[in-house]
Amino acid sequence: MAEDVRGNLEIENRGAVLVARIDGGPLGLFGNDIAEQLDVLVDRADRDPDVHAVVFTGTHPERFVSHAEVRWLQEGGAKVPSVGVKGASALARTARGVNRTGGMQSLLGKTPLWPAVQLERVHQTFLKMNQSGVIFVAALNGSALGLGAEFSWANDLRVMADGDFFIGQPEVLLGIMPGGGGTQRLTRLIGTHRSLVAILEGKPFSPAEALAIGAVDDVVPQDQVLARAMELAEHFGSRTKGSIASIKRAVYFGGSMSLSDGLHVERAEFLTTALSKVGQELMLDYMANSEASGELPLYIPGVYDEVLQTGTTRGAGTTTTSGSEKKQ
């Protein structure tokens, strides 16, 4: 059966942007092979100061990711007696512990706990994407259901192909529910009620619907999806990587906490950036340019638009942009 095809993530280096092509075999499935390669890629991109963005797209002609390998989800469960929500909660906690103490993983292969451990690892990979200074863009060349949709929600931006495609969470129709973050990230992306209704019904969004409610950021013809995603990756990736990381953590994590707790996260992240070398340099540069011209650079006509293109205020508002004029 096609589900046994080994999944693969092909990575192409395009300067500051990596393009990762998801090859889930002829059926376009997301299984543990892809999950493991994704985890390695996220770590690599996060650590490498020269990588500012990653664009994901599918190799299937009409699908980004069909959905998860169903056997992956089903197999372990078959060996375990049905547990209540408290038992499942304990199982999920144990799985988290196992992942933290890496050495135990080989011992657990093929035990009933195994799928819970793998599920937990996918969650950790997606969380690392949310914490990272890398901009992740899903270039949805076609449809994405289940874990394919959840992986899309874990990206920072989404571009979707126009046409007879769909994106959503059909799990309720299989007697289960989203397990890769769908109930949490879709809820925070499009609001509690829209998310609840979509997940309870199991009905996916068309590209136009997804765009209207903000589930995707742009819809373009299929042959322009990758180019548009690259454009966004380069544009957002041109900002300081440390700022991007701090902003993502403050919004994704702080923004989901109580207002008081979220503000504390912001203060800590703000101080990290304000005390950083690049933050100090750019603030001093901005003040010097302001003093030289007598006006705040961002309020000089035309300057803000330029700065949005370059991604930095370095040298902004000086009459000449030659190196000798700038404070580095």
Are 54 and 45 spatial neighbours (Cβ–Cβ below 8 Å)? yes
Decide whether 11 or 27 has the Cβ nearer to a copy of itself: 27
In the complex, the smallest distance separating the C-beta of residue 36 from a copy of itself, rounded to whole angstroms, is 19
In the complex, the smallest distance separating the C-beta of residue 123 from a copy of itself, rounded to whole angstroms, is 6
In the complex, the smallest distance separating the C-beta of residue 201 from a copy of itself, rounded to whole angstroms, is 6
Question: Binding residue for a copy of itself (CB under 8 A) from 7, 31, 148, 179?
Answer: 179
91-120 binders of a copy of itself (CB under 8 A): 91-93, 95, 115-116, 119-120
227-266 binders of a copy of itself (CB under 8 A): 235-236, 239-240, 242-244, 246-264, 266
Decide whether 11 or 127 has the Cβ nearer to a copy of itself: 127
Query: How do 167-168 and 143-145 pair as beta strands?
Result: parallel
In the complex, the smallest distance separating the C-beta of residue 280 from a copy of itself, rounded to whole angstroms, is 6
Evaluated on CA atoms 280, 281, 286, 289, the torsion sign reads positive
CA distance 35 to 114: 14
Are 65 and 151 spatial neighbours (Cβ–Cβ below 8 Å)? yes
Decide whether 57 or 187 has the Cβ nearer to a copy of itself: 187
Residue 287-326 contact track with a copy of itself, rule CB under 8 A, x = bound: x--xx--xxx-xx----x--xx--xxx-------------
| Stretch binding a copy of itself (CB under 8 A), from 7-15, 46-54, 99-107, 164-172 | 164-172
CA distance 251 to 3: 37
106: exposed, middle or buried (Cβ count in 10 Å: 0-12, 13-18, 19+)? exposed
In the complex, the smallest distance separating the C-beta of residue 111 from a copy of itself, rounded to whole angstroms, is 14
- Binding flag, residue 212, a copy of itself (CB under 8 A): no
In the complex, the smallest distance separating the C-beta of residue 39 from a copy of itself, rounded to whole angstroms, is 16
Residue 20-39 contact track with a copy of itself, rule CB under 8 A, x = bound: -------x------------
- Binding flag, residue 141, a copy of itself (CB under 8 A): no
Angle (CA) 315-235-23 rounded to 5° is: 150
134-144 burial string, b = 16+ CB within 10 Å, else e?
Answer: bbbbbbbbbbb
> Which residues are CB-contacts of 313 (< 8 A; sequence separation ≥ 6)?
282, 285, 286, 289, 297, 298, 307
CA distance 326 to 94: 54
- Binding flag, residue 173, a copy of itself (CB under 8 A): yes
7, 217, 171, 70 alpha-carbon torsion, rounded to 10°: 0
| Stretch binding a copy of itself (CB under 8 A), from 13-21, 36-44, 97-105, 186-194 | 186-194
- Binding flag, residue 274, a copy of itself (CB under 8 A): yes
Decide whether 11 or 253 has the Cβ nearer to a copy of itself: 253
CA distance 219 to 226: 11
